[in-house]
Amino acid sequence: MAQPVLVAGARTPIGKMLGSLSGPTAPELGGTAVRAALERAGITGDQVDAVILGNVVQAGLGPNPARLAAVAGGIPMSAPATTVNKLCLSGLTAIAEAAQQITVGQYEVVVAGGMESMSNAPYLLPRAGRAFRYGDTPLLDALDQDALVCGFDGIPMGVATERYQAGLGISREDPPSPDQTPRCCTSRPTRSGTPCAATAPWASATWTCSKSTRPSPGSPSPPCVTSGCPRTG
């Protein structure tokens, strides 16, 4: 069987809610990362066999966000594109599925990762199709409805995580083992002005990772984070 190998990676800077990266949609951000990863790998879009991208808050993005990001990244329509929704594990699941497809010999070159824009999550209007016959109709935040609130208990995902981990004897204070610690947690964020090696610049952003244009205190622009952090997916 073939042995999957990661040949390149890229991400956009990490933005804040309603910050400097709130304009582009998730597929637009994903397309920027896809294009940069291909350039770093020395691979052209027509060499890609398939695309698998995780995306959670899909309301209003358009059909198959992975396809939109793939085309934005320079990959032709001939390559199949699949969108994965497994909440916080979406991007990691996409990478795992890409590795499986390469292992069994289905594909040789697969683009995989994840994309999200919490700032662009729309509000949902239930019962609108029934013309509001009677009674109040609330606006629902798609970010809560489709992502941040547990679909079973109706509580925030963070609260749910601590509740379920307590039954397993796992607390927030328990230190992770070395193999569970992301590299961004073992290395200081690059606030010194050194560009993040994995970061693909966003053309319309008002800041970059260079020291001369670092955001001032209080600015909505975020610092860079060392590559390898799950939050970059």
> Domain with 100 in it: what CATH number?
3.40.47.10
What's 89's DSSP letter? T
Give per-residue pLDDT as tens, 54-66. Answer: 999 999 999 999 9
Same domain, 90 and 30: yes
Quick check: is 10 in a domain? no
Token pair listed for 164: 């379920």
Token pair listed for 12: 């956009």
Quick check: is 178 in a domain? no
Encode 77-100: b = buried (16+ Cβ within 10 Å), e = exposed. Answer: eebebbbbeeebbbbbbbbbbbbe
- Check residue 204 and give its pLDDT: 41
Same domain, 31 and 141: no
Encode 187-199: b = buried (16+ Cβ within 10 Å), e = exposed. Answer: eeebeeeeebebb
The top-scoring range by mean pLDDT among 13-17, 80-84, 218-222 is 80-84
Quick check: is 21 in a domain? no
Same domain, 104 and 32: yes
Quick check: is 155 in a domain? yes
Look at the pTM and tell me if it is higher than 0.85: no
Report whether pLDDT(216) > 60.
Answer: no
Domain count for the chain, please give it.
2
What single-letter amino acid sits at 132?
F
Quick check: is 218 in a domain? yes
Query: 153 lies in which domain range?
Result: 123-166
Worst-scoring range by mean pLDDT, 28-37, 58-67, 152-161, 174-183?
A: 174-183
Report whether pLDDT(68) > 70.
Answer: yes
Same domain, 154 and 102: no
Same domain, 84 and 34: yes
CA 170, CA 165: separation in Å to the nearest integer? Answer: 5
Same domain, 111 and 194: yes
Same domain, 117 and 208: yes
Token pair listed for 35: 């294009």
